[in-house]
C-alpha cells in the first residue's frame, strides 16, 4: 500500500486554476464515493479550501501513482485537460510530512492561521463518516490533527491572530482614506469566512456592518451577532452605495458581482471609491471589475503582499515547529511499519492459541477428577508457555518491519508454520 497526495495550492496554481478544481461540501461527498469505487483506492480523504485542493489516497497495485491520481482527478471533475505543472504530488514519507505541515499551518498562505486545522479535521470526519478511511488513514489523520494542536500550543505561531480573513481586514484598512472604525462594511456571505471577517472588523472598532446572504435567516443570525443589519441578496447593490468596504465570501459557483452590478454601484456612489475584497474560491467578483474607476478590487491572491508584512516573526516560530513535525513523522513511520507485520504476528499467535486450547482440552479430558483451581493452573501455565515461546520471534519480526528482510521473513514464517493454510 502506498500513501500519496495530489493537490494544488496558492503557491502552485493561480486562483482561476484553483477554482476549477475546488469542491464544495456536497461535491466532496459525491467525489469521495466515486473515488472509493476505484479498485486501487483503499482509503481516501479530500481536503478542499479557498487556497487548496488535496486528494489523499492509500493506493494498492498502482505502478505509476502520479499518473493514476491525475486521471482520477480528471474523472472526478470531468476535465478534458489538466496542466500537470499546477499540481504537486508526494508519496510515502513526503506525503506524511506535507500533511503534517498543512495541519500545523506551515503550508498556509497566512503562516500560522488557525482555520486550516478545523478544515482538515472536517475533511477527515467527512471521509471517516462516509466509510472511506481505514486503519492507516485513521492513524495518519488523527496524528496530523494532534500535531497541528501541538505546534499551536508549543510555539508562538498562533499568537498573532492572522488568517485570510484577518489579512483581508488589514488590506481594507490600508486602502481606506478614513479610519476603519468610521467605515461602513457590507459582507456578502454568512459562512465561516464571513463570520471570521466580521469578528476581525468588530475587533478593530467597526460599528456599521451589513450582511447579505442567499439564505436570509443566516444573514440575520450573523448580523445579529455583530449588531449589524441583514440585507436580502437581491437588494445588496442598494446598500453597496453606502459601503466603504465590500467583502465577499459566498461559495457561489458564479459571479455575484459582474461588471453590470459594479457599474450600478459606482453610479449610485457618485464617484466615491469603494474597496472590494473577494476572498471566495470560486471568485464572487468578475475580475474585469478591477479596471473600473472608483473600485479597488483585491482577490485572494492579492492577500499575499499583505501577508509578507509580519512574515519574519511567524517564520521564526515556524522553525520551532520543525522538530515537532520531524519527531511525529518518525513515530508514525514506526507505528505504520509495525502495521505491515501485524497480520503475520496475529496469524502466528492465533495458530498457537488454537493449538494450546486444543491440547489443553485433550489433557483436561484425561484428568476428570482435578479441581477447578488445578484446571486454572494448567490453563495459565499453557498460556505462559505460548507467550514465552513467541516472545523472541515477535521482537525480531517487529525489528525487521519495513526493511528489505521483511518479505523474506514473511515467506519463512508462512512455510515454517503453515500459516496460509490455517490462517
3-state secondary structure of 349: helix
- Whether 132 is a known active-site residue: answer no
Beta-ladder partners of 302: none
Answer yes or no: are the C-beta atoms of 107 and 8 closer than 8 Å: no
Gap between the Cα atoms of 211 and 198, Å rounded: 9
Gap between the Cα atoms of 354 and 348, Å rounded: 10
DSSP per residue, 183-219: -EEEEE--SHHHHHHHHHHHHTT--EEEEEESSHHHH
Per-residue H/E/C for 277-343: EECCCCCCECHHHHHCCCEEEEEHHHHHHHHHHHHHHHHHHHHHHHHHHHHHHHHHHHHHHHHHHHH
> What is the bridge-based pairing of β-strands 229-232 and 208-213?
parallel
The residue from 40, 44, 50, 132 that is catalytic is 50
CA nearest neighbour of 280 among 221, 213, 183: 213
Answer yes or no: are the C-beta atoms of 6 and 69 closer than 8 Å: yes
Task: Locate 27 and state its grid cell.
Answer: 461535491
- CA 267-270-274 angle, to 5 degrees, is 85
Measuring CA to CA, how many Å separate 175 from each of 90, 296, 315? 39, 8, 26
Gap between the Cα atoms of 178 and 45, Å rounded: 46
Catalytic sites, residue numbers: 50
Amino acid at each position: 500500500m502506498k500513501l500519496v497526495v495530489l493537490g494544488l495550492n496558492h503557491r502552485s496554481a493561480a486562483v482561476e486554476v484553483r477554482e476549477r478544481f475546488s469542491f464544495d461540501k456536497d461535491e466532496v461527498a459525491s467525489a469521495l464515493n466515486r473515488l472509493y469505487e476505484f479498485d486501487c483506492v483503499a482509503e481516501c480523504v479530500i481536503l478542499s479550501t479557498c487556497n487548496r485542493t488535496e486528494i489523499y489516497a492509500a493506493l494498492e497495485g498502482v505502478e505509476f501513482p502520479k499518473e493514476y491520481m491525475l486521471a482520477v482527478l480528471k474523472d472526478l471533475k470531468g476535465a478534458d485537460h489538466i496542466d500537470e505543472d499546477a499540481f504537486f504530488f508526494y508519496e510515502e514519507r513526503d506525503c506524511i510530512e506535507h500533511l503534517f505541515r498543512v495541519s500545523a499551518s506551515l503550508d498556509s498562505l497566512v503562516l500560522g492561521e488557525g482555520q486550516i486545522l478545523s478544515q482538515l479535521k472536517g475533511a477527515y470526519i467527512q471521509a471517516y463518516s462516509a466509510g472511506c478511511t481505514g486503519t492507516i488513514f485513521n492513524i495518519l489523520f488523527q496524528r496530523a490533527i494532534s500535531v497541528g494542536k501541538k505546534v499551536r500550543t508549543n510555539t508562538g505561531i498562533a499568537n498573532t491572530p492572522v488568517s485570510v480573513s484577518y489579512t483581508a481586514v488589514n488590506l481594507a484598512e490600508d486602502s481606506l482614506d478614513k479610519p476603519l472604525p468610521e467605515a461602513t462594511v457590507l459582507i456578502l456571505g454568512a459562512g465561516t469566512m464571513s463570520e471570521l471577517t466580521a469578528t476581525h472588523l468588530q475587533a478593530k472598532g467597526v460599528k456599521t456592518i451589513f450582511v447579505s446572504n442567499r439564505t436570509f435567516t443566516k444573514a440575520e443570525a450573523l448580523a445579529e451577532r455583530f449588531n449589524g443589519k441583514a440585507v436580502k441578496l437581491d437588494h445588496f447593490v442598494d446598500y453597496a452605495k453606502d459601503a466603504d468596504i465590500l467583502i465577499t465570501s459566498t461559495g457561489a459557483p458564479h459571479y455575484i458581482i459582474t461588471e453590470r452590478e459594479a457599474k450600478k454601484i459606482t453610479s449610485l456612489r457618485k464617484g466615491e471609491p469603494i474597496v472590494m475584497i473577494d476572498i471566495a474560491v470560486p471568485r464572487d467578483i468578475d475580475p474585469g471589475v478591477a479596471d473600473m474607476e472608483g473600485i479597488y478590487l483585491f482577490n485572494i491572491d492579492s492577500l499575499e503582499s499583505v501577508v509578507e508584512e509580519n512574515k519574519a516573526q511567524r517564520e521564526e516560530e515556524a522553525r520551532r515547529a520543525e522538530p515537532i513535525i520531524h519527531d511525529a513523522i518518525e513515530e508514525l513511520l514506526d507505528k505504520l511499519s509495525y502495521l505491515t507485520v501485524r497480520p503475520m504476528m496475529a496469524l502466528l499467535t492465533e495458530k498457537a492459541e488454537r493449538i494450546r486450547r486444543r491440547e489443553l482440552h485433550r489433557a483436561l479430558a484425561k484428568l476428570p477428577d482435578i479441581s477447578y483451581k488445578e484446571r486454572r493452573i494448567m490453563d495459565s501455565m499453557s498460556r505462559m508457555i505460548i507467550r514465552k515461546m513467541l516472545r523472541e520471534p515477535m521482537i525480531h519480526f517487529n525489528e525487521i518491519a519495513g526493511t528489505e528482510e521483511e518479505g523474506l521473513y514473511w515467506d519463512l514464517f508462512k512455510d515454517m508454520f503453515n500459516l496460509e493454510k490455517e490462517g
